[in-house]
Chain A
Amino acid sequence: MNHTFTFTIDGVEVRGRPGQTIMQAADEAGIYIPRLCAHKELVPHGSCRVCTVFVNGRPQSACTQPAAPGIIVENETEALLAIRRSLIDMLFVEGNHFCPFCEKSGNCELQALAYRFGITAPQHPYLFPKRDLDASHPDIFIDRNRCILCGRCVRASRDLDGKNVFQFVGRGPGKRIAVNAKAALADTDAARTDRAVSACPVGAILRKRVGYAIPIGQRMYDAAPIGSDIEAVRADPHQ
């Protein structure tokens, strides 16, 4: 306890420890900072930028920025909510997301964020990209239409599964997830139980034949908005 320090998030005093990121300290304090590429068991990626906060007035990603004594963090301001909304919209229009019949619906973090932000339709025009699908593997498939390039599968496969099945190829708008094989996922050592599969926040990497085992309506974010688990930590007199 000797080494803890304090800083504020939207005026609320929060305790932090050396080595913690702002997001980790916020999670412990029960303050939810929206995120997509961040995952508790994976090294931070800092790519989706949904967790952008202002630290002493400067924009930083909360998942990569270290907590530090006395910093002033802005999280739920009008300006930041607008930026995050815009970023979530960008991820929707960049791909081809079809929530009504997606197997991930209700368990999808992108969809859950849209609900949390009250997004009914994106503010940006759809880009309708042509993306491909890899159903070669007997137990898993990749649908790049729904990929948001968060890199969770890359990190999970490398760091949790010890496999390196996935990596990014191409650059700019042409960037996409590739597999460690000449042709297809079936030629890799990917397995149904891989953490890389369960780490996908959207419906881009899915297990076959279990799509609707849990009915829509009884899924993770059907009951409570994304981030509720974190916010439950905090005993907030206002709620």
Chain B
Amino acid sequence: MNKKLNAVIQGICAKVGKDRTRMVDVVRETQAALGCVSSEAMDLIARETGTHRVEVESVVTFYAFLSSTPKGKVVIRLCNDVVDRMQGMKRVAEAFEKALGIGFGQTTPDGAITLEYAPCIGMSDQAPAALVNDVVVTGLSSDSAREIVAALREHGDPSRLVRQLGDGNNAHPLVHAMVRNNLRACGPVIFAALEPGAALKSALAMTPQEVIRDVKTARLRGRGGAGFPTGMKWEFTRQAPGARRFVLCNADEGEPGTFKDRVILTECPDLLFEGMTVAGYAIGADTGIMYLRGEYAYLAPFLEDVLARRRAQNLLGAAILGKQGFNFDIRIQLGAGAYICGEETALISSCEGLRGDPKNRPPFPAQKGYLGFPTAVNNVETFCCAARILARGAGWFAEMGSKGSPGTKLLSVAGDCRSPGVYEVPFGISLAEFLAMAGAEDAAAVQVGGPSGQMVGPKDFGRTICYDDLATGGSVIVLGRGRDVLGVALEFLEFFVDESCGYCTPCRVGNVLLKERLQAILAGRGEPADLEYLQKLGETVKTASRCGLGQTSPNPVLTTLKNFRSEYEKRVAPRGDGLQPSFDLSAAVADAQIIAGRASVHAAR
């Protein structure tokens, strides 16, 4: 047995040249081959890659898709995102539990199937959805949950669960997914035809500095949410001293309710890869890495095929399109289930084979990024915009959108609306206009920018979607009348608690405290003073946290305190009896009662 394990690990490590910085690949493959990365496997991996065992353990215990104890041959990960919960996830969850005879977090006694929850898997427009190993199943009901279990019991092959193929490239043999694009509005920047090589030809006719100048003239800003000027980022990266430079594409689309990058990856990978190649030329990089979230692993074979074709077309590789000295290639790095890896320095850590902990800044990635070299990290959509700017011209791009936010933006909308899906809209569109497009005119509340964004009510629907007003990386979640806004805020806090890397105090501890206090309020144990406590604590977490996750994680509380204050006030009304509601006497003496073997007088009443 040990010999066999040894051979498997040796083979996996050899595939990456025993390179410690490829640890995420090594542990992912080990997990896939053996169902876990066992203690013995950690020792062997450490020996093979020349590192310490605890370093391997540190990586394995960080990512949700990895485990040191055996999981089933098939792992069902039911998405428990807010939208999925709104659309009947609970019934699906119960059906899975009943059909499998196990609870969440458990494995069937025969070791065949493990049942787990996963945060947003990027399918909110076709919720409830789940991952069965790498296979996506969407639009689930309690019936389909039972059918899935029956089918897996019969043949154990997740790929056979896909009966009806989705539209567009979802039906491509290398994708073979039931996922639908739900592409509702195509704009001129992202969802327009592109002849492969067109942007690159125009870039290669210029100097790299001229390419950067064009991107600056177009006033392109990062589409991930933060909105940093892309041209400036490329210039800093180009100017930073370093023997090598890297282009990193952030395809770790994890913000709950965001799925627009999934549609780009499915329908316009050429535009994306072309944008990355243009960036490589502009900053002087020879390597690009696309960090693809583990939840989108089903797209990896298709994307690898596109890369292979582009190599064959001389759009990647040596002397691209005959340009001597310009060599550039792209590799795909798969993630393993960690929202934090969408933070650019955490993404770099993960690419380096480490835990997905963000890094201290400065130095910024443009100065010292991947493996210490100058690195430009951009969002999927940003690279697509850059390619289009080169193909169509900076002036053409800058004329679209609003003053401070040129171009178009992809929005992914889900929740209580008639037409969930992906929309390419010009920046500056009002939220009301957009809600009308999506069939959500009567929304009671809208979460713009995902949990890390803001929850707004009808009085704010006249505001515009752009960097200077309602900024969003793409997520728009609609809550209809009757939805509990604070219940949603609590679910978002639970998400951040689960996804915090735990590095810094305010995020690791503060979010737990926020969650517990809000939970107490929702359970009827709140006091008026709790609102002040939440406000102060939220601001402390926001100010003191080390990275963007912690700096935005209190937003569900802070924006609902601001925009839906009456929801809090009606739950923390002072009590007439003078008792302190936050103290639950029965719960406090529960342990003592068990030990004493008798109930208290209080409980008996």
Contacts and interface: CB of A to CB of B under 8 A. Distances in A.
Contact of B57 (A44, A61, A64, A167): A167
B543 interface: yes
B58 A168 contact: yes
B228 interface: no
A173 B540 contact: no
A90 interface: yes
Contacts of B499: 172
B509 to A, nearest CB: 4
B55 interface: yes
A8 interface: no
Interface in A133-163: 148-149
A170 B543 contact: no
A165 B55 CA distance: 10
B230 to A, nearest CB: 22
Interface in A47-61: 47-50, 52, 59, 61
B509 A93 contact: yes
Interface stretch (A178-186, A199-207, A214-222): A178-186
Contacts of A173: 497, 500, 502, 508-509, 512
Which range contains the number of B residues in contact with the other chain? Answer: 35 or more
Given A90-B506, A94-B509, A170 B62 contact: yes
A64 B503 CA distance: 15
A174 interface: yes
A173 B511 CA distance: 9
A170 B502 contact: yes
B52 A171 contact: no
Contact of A168 (B43, B355, B360, B545): B355
Contact of B544 (A49, A171, A182): A49
A82 B508 CA distance: 18
Nearest to B39: A182
Interface in B458-504: 497-504
Which range contains the number of A residues in contact with the other chain? Answer: 35 or more
A49 B58 contact: no
Interface string B525-567: 0000000000011001001111000000000000000000000
B53 A181 contact: yes
Given A59-B543, A61-B546, A83-B543, A167 B58 contact: yes
A127 interface: yes
A49 B508 contact: no
Contacts of A124: 509, 513, 537
Contact of B510 (A90, A125, A167): A90
Contacts of A45: 360
Contacts, number: 124
Nearest to B356: A171
Nearest to B498: A172
Nearest to A169: B61
A174 B502 contact: yes
Contact of A59 (B52, B537, B544): B544
Given A87-B505, A172-B497, A173-B497, A180 B53 contact: yes
Contacts of A180: 52-54
Contacts of B362: 65-66
A25 to B, nearest CB: 16
B374 to A, nearest CB: 18
A49 B506 contact: yes
Nearest to B59: A169
A19 B201 CA distance: 43
B508 A149 contact: yes
B588 to A, nearest CB: 12
A172 B537 CA distance: 18
B57 A90 contact: no
Contacts of B510: 86, 90
8 A-B pairs with least C-beta separation: A175-B502, A90-B509, A180-B54, A167-B54, A169-B61, A172-B500, A49-B544, A64-B360
17 contacts: A44-B360, A47-B504, A59-B544, A61-B360, A86-B510, A90-B506, A90-B510, A91-B509, A171-B338, A172-B508, A173-B500, A173-B508, A178-B58, A179-B54, A180-B52, A181-B53, A182-B43
Given A86-B536, A90-B510, 4 more contacts: A52-B544, A164-B55, A171-B61, A173-B509
